[in-house]
Amino acid sequence: MATPPTFTAGAVLTAAQMNAIGLWLIDAATFTTQTSISLPNDTFTADFTNYRLMLNLSAVTADATLTMRMRTSGTDNSGANYELAGTETNSTNTTVTGITSAGGLTSWSMAESDPIDRYALTVDIMAPQIAEPTLIFANLTYVNTAATAWRYRNFAGCFTAGTVFDSLSYISSVASSLTGRYSVYGWNQ
């Protein structure tokens, strides 16, 4: 196992030290009362093959359905090329529910959220800058819209067309409803 580099104030960092870092912060922001959050254009570049998005919602103003779409040059891709499969568990019982789509979706369904509690999502985005199907692997925790249970969702998704993407959008079904923060990292190979 590689030893993480040690950084000290005033030290000059070498290329070897910088290349040893596993995740590289690309962008981070906070947002208040937004309907959607779009990462900046050119978030995904040839600098990294794979990326991680960490999203925390601290407030949602109303029961909302949340979705995600890939973007190119500032435009969401709403083509019917999204697929999704995974499982969901519930804090009030041991039921595991399957989540599947037969394809042909125009976005990935990321869940729902109640207006009173937190929502946390981590998504790994595989090879969005390569003209091949883009894969995602996601984990999230949220409170259902009935505010009766915490839920945990683990799933994978695929954008089946070979499209080059440079960003993504996270979208609420309720206008001006999202407050929180995000961070995007590039995975070092």
Just give the CATH number of 21-187: 2.60.120
Q: What tokens were used for 90?
A: 């519930």
Buried b (16+ CB within 10 A) or exposed e, 133-160: ebbbbbebbbbbbeeeeebebebebbbe
Q: Which helix (H) or strand (E) holds 19?
A: helix 15-19
Residues 6+ apart with CB under 8 A from 152: 88, 89, 91, 139, 140, 141
- d(C-alpha 10, C-alpha 20), whole Å: 19
pTM beyond 0.75 = yes
Tens digit of each residue's pLDDT, the chain (189 residues): 355 566 778 878 777 777 777 788 999 999 999 999 999 999 999 989 999 999 998 888 887 888 999 999 999 999 999 999 999 888 887 777 887 776 789 999 888 776 666 789 999 999 999 999 999 999 998 877 777 778 888 999 999 999 999 999 999 988 878 899 999 999 876
Q: List the beta bridge partners of residue 125.
A: 51, 136
Whether the Cβ atoms of residue 184 and residue 28 lie closer than 8 Å to each other: yes
Q: What residue segments make up the domains of the chain, in order of their start?
A: 21-187
Distance of CA 128 to the CA centre of its chain: 13
Q: Which residue has the tokens 């125009």?
A: 106
What phi and psi, each to the nearest 5 degrees, are found at residue 17? -65, -45
